[in-house]
Amino acid sequence: MPNHPIDAHVGSRVRLRRTLLGLSQQKLGSSLGLTFQQIQKYERGTNRIGASRLFELSKILNVPMSFFFEDIKSRDSSGHHHLADPESKFEHQFLSRRETLELVRAYYRITDSEVRKRVFEVVKSIANRDDEVNLSSCR
């Protein structure tokens, strides 16, 4: 039986949070008393994560249980659950890059919230400027 889309989604959310925290599969597995191979199977959606294990993961990864189910739509008319929007290649491509993870980790190491806000605004303004330059070059 193929992986259920919800199991794959939950697993991808585990992977996202684990990598944002800089945890290896080995370290997360050790925290749960599992092997890194079991964590791999969870992250791929090959193995379903039970409720008690998901509860443990939420504590270790410091997220609410709802984090694992974000972006899942309600049932459709046929009674099936669907993801709100299939994970775009864009998001997956950039969220899994080491550069992105290092940037996010560095950003959250800034302890002064006002400085962190200014850094955020600078990055946004640079990105917006680049968007404007790219749009004008297409004309």
pLDDT higher than threshold 80 for residue 48? yes
Burial 94-122 (b: 16+ CB within 10 A, else e): ebeeeeebeeeeeeeeeeeeeeeeeeeee
Residue 1: pLDDT band with limits 50, 70, 90:
low
- What 8-state DSSP symbol labels residue 54? H
Report pLDDT for 2.
66
For residue 5, is it within any domain? yes
Per mean pLDDT, which of 61-65, 83-87, 100-104, 135-139 is the most reliable?
61-65
pTM above 0.85, yes or no: no
Residue 135: pLDDT band with limits 50, 70, 90:
low
Question: Are 76 and 122 in a shared domain?
Answer: no
pLDDT higher than threshold 50 for residue 92? yes
Question: Are 19 and 74 in a shared domain?
Answer: yes
Domain that holds residue 7: 1-85
For residue 35, is it within any domain? yes
Question: Are 64 and 125 in a shared domain?
Answer: no
CA distance linking residue 33 with residue 51, whole number of Å: 16
Half-sphere exposure of 98 (CA within 13 A, CB side): 0
Question: Are 62 and 112 in a shared domain?
Answer: no
